[in-house]
Amino acid sequence: MTPAELSALLLTSATDLLARRAGPDAPVITVADISLERPKNRDHGDWSSNIAMKLAKAVGSSPRDLAADFAEGFRLIDGVEAVEVAGPGFINFTLDAAAAGSLAKRIVELGDTYGHTDTFAGQTINLEFVSANPTGPLHIGHTRWAALGDSIARVLTASGAKVATEFYINDAGAQMDNFGASILAAARGLPTPENGYPGAYIAELAAKVLDVQPDLLDLPDDDAVADARELGYQLQLGEIRASLERFNVHFDVWFSERTLHADDHSTGRSPIDDAIDRLRAQGHVFDDDDAVWVRTTDFGDDKDRVIRRGNGIFTYFAADAAYYLSKSDRGYEHKIYLLGADHHGYVHRLKALAGAAGDDPERDIEVLIGQLVSINGARLSKRAGNIIELNDLQAWLGTDALRYSLGRYPADSPLTLDPELLRKRTNDNPVFYVQYAHARTFSVARNAADSGVDRSVFDASLLTHETESALLGLLAELPRIVAQAAELREPHRIARYCEELAGAYHRWYDNCRVTPLGEEPVGDVHRTRLWLSDATGTVLRNGLAMLGVSAPDRM
């Protein structure tokens, strides 16, 4: 029996009791009011609910008296072995072995869909993250957001949302001209120009550009810079894409900032022009000192924002506005922005922009700010010169260790990783610990096959050892953990859960044999335990997949 199934049964029983006690005045309750939690002390049962404490005042009863009334009905539910009232009105439930153990078979049958829910069904979400300038390789800050953003997308999808991951390419403005000038200078063997980009990677790009366009150096300067910029841009963007794919991060949409500035051939207007008109129609645009402003203070911003200067030049805020509106136009009801630690000022600005566009700033937009990450002993990139590259980190630590470690902590906490620990193949290394538990489930299956233990029988009532009860209780938690991780945008909850589950599995392995000892014949308990081991492997595999980490079958 899953927590969701138990909650549904408890809801029916509780609703009946409330109707008998309060008649037409009975409070309407939902599954959320049941609020099942795992007791910290397993002696207190498998699950606990504080429903009586929530509803006592509404029905004119003390919490403990209402809990006692609830308990009488709950004891009649099939699969519930015991119900006890504790403390000020908690209700503790113990499932019988068959009801608790039946989950193991269900998990194996559901496979990679176990843990998925419909919590966010019907929601359409645009999730923007990384969004680097295409003027150089991805660095360690991008790496953290790539890991977290992708994992957030995975848990939201597993919770029923329709998610589009999006990379905003910052490919407009003077930075791109400086990039082109830097490549051209390197191609000519000249020093990096003022405000240009240094690093060996620029020389590498210059060599590749010359391979594609050998006559580049024969062109007039303006044409040469333009061609170097465009070719270098495409090459660098291709490297960024490849780096992310190797990091198990895939983007559904690559959105170019330049398209926001480009005029439509038929109208002569750009999306930014249209955005200003649309915001003006909402009543939040005004003109002052020859400039065009958005009255973002109407929505909590600390000051109104200039969207077009008096000289006719659009501000960065203009591109932000057009980009936000494009997301709405493409059908995304909810927009999530994942921004770096230096973007705190964007939170109020973007929320105010949503309000000015006619959306609800508290519902339709969400801005997450990540903190810095460092790795002890990491060296600056030899190619880029002043950053720690994603490619170097992958080569040094491995994708699994890097992704798991970055996904293991909340985004808003500064993070320093220990590379020596991450390279160890010991239980001190969290990713190794979890992956080893998964690999052990495959080892158990191989040894079982060699010993003649098959899956022809599943008798849940045989799973009575205390470590089996603990393991089953944790297996039941995955759907709740996933939904919670999605709701809070905290995939680190999946990692911590996997570590707890791995520990429970190792303890069970030490106490309960799947293969018989000596001349002991194969029994139904061995066959049933094989299902439980398989179920644990399934859950670990599903949890690791939500973190973008592989689940090896041998270590």
SS (H, E, C) 53-85: HHHCHHHCCCHHHHHHHHHHHHCCCCCEEEEEE
User: For position 380, what pLDDT does the model report?
Assistant: 60
Per-residue pLDDT tens over the stretch 10-46: 999 999 989 888 788 888 888 888 888 888 777 788 8
Per-residue pLDDT tens over the stretch 142-180: 999 999 999 999 999 999 999 999 999 999 989 999 999
The structural domains of the chain, ordered by start, are 3-95 (3.30.1360.70), 174-246 (no CATH), 426-546 (1.10.730.10)
User: For position 37, what pLDDT does the model report?
Assistant: 85
User: For position 383, what pLDDT does the model report?
Assistant: 65
Helices within 126-199 (DSSP H only) = 140-158, 174-187
Per-residue pLDDT tens over the stretch 347-366: 988 999 999 999 999 999 99
Q: How far apart are CA 160 and CA 162, in angstroms?
A: 7
pLDDT class of 266 with cuts at 50, 70, 90: confident
Please give the structure tokens belonging to residue 439. 């690999």
Under 8 Å between Cβ of 169 and 134: yes
Total H helices, total E strands in the chain: 21, 13
SS3 of residue 117 by DSSP? coil
Please give the structure tokens belonging to residue 521. 């014949």
Residue 497 has pLDDT above 70, yes or no: yes
Indicate the helix (H) or strand (E) that contains 468: helix 466-475
User: For position 300, what pLDDT does the model report?
Assistant: 85
CA-based R_g, the chain, Å = 29
Average pLDDT, the chain: 92
Stretch 306-320: mean pLDDT: 93
User: Among residues of the chain, what percentage have pLDDT more than 90?
Assistant: 75
User: For position 495, what pLDDT does the model report?
Assistant: 98
Please give the structure tokens belonging to residue 368. 């997450």
pLDDT class of 346 with cuts at 50, 70, 90: confident
Per-residue pLDDT tens over the stretch 101-134: 889 999 999 999 999 999 999 999 999 999 889 9
pLDDT class of 531 with cuts at 50, 70, 90: very high
User: For position 363, what pLDDT does the model report?
Assistant: 94
**Exposure class string for 296-334: b at 16+ Cβ within 10 A, else e:** beebebeebbbbbeeeeebbebbbbbbbbbbbbeeebeb
Nearest to 129 by CA among 251, 280, 256: 251
Torsional class of 307: left (φ above 0), alpha (ψ -120 to 50), beta (otherwise): alpha
Q: How far apart are CA 549 and CA 551, in angstroms?
A: 7
User: For position 44, what pLDDT does the model report?
Assistant: 80
User: For position 384, what pLDDT does the model report?
Assistant: 64
How, if at all, do strands 47-49 and 90-95 pair? antiparallel
Residues 6 or more apart whose Cβ sits within 8 Å of residue 276: 285, 292, 307, 308, 318, 321
pLDDT class of 543 with cuts at 50, 70, 90: very high
Alpha carbon 112 to its chain centroid, in Å, reads: 17
Q: Across-strand partners of 293?
A: 286, 306
Sort 24 into a burial class: Cβ within 10 Å, 0-12 / 13-18 / 19+. Answer: exposed
Under 8 Å between Cβ of 531 and 448: no
Q: How far apart are CA 96 and CA 98, in angstroms?
A: 6
Per-residue pLDDT tens over the stretch 417-450: 898 999 999 999 999 999 999 999 999 999 999 9
Q: How far apart are CA 474 and CA 502, in angstroms?
A: 10
Contacts of range 441-444, beta carbons closer than 8 Å, 24 or more positions apart? 441/505, 441/533, 441/534, 441/536, 441/537, 441/540, 442/537, 442/553, 442/554, 443/554, 444/509, 444/514, 444/515, 444/530, 444/533
User: For position 302, what pLDDT does the model report?
Assistant: 87
User: For position 377, what pLDDT does the model report?
Assistant: 76
**Any idea what DSSP says for residue 219?**
S
Residue 370: phi, psi to the nearest 5?
A: -95, 155
Which of 36-50, 329-343, 498-512 has the least mean pLDDT? 36-50
Q: Across-strand partners of 69?
A: none
Stretch 525-529: mean pLDDT: 97
User: For position 141, what pLDDT does the model report?
Assistant: 86
User: For position 382, what pLDDT does the model report?
Assistant: 58
Per-residue pLDDT tens over the stretch 462-496: 998 999 989 998 999 999 999 999 999 999 999 99
User: Among residues of the chain, what percentage have pLDDT more than 70?
Assistant: 99
User: For position 367, what pLDDT does the model report?
Assistant: 95
Q: How many CB atoms lie within 10 A of CB 56?
A: 18
pTM, whole model, 2 decimals? Answer: 0.88
Q: How far apart are CA 260 and CA 270, in angstroms?
A: 6
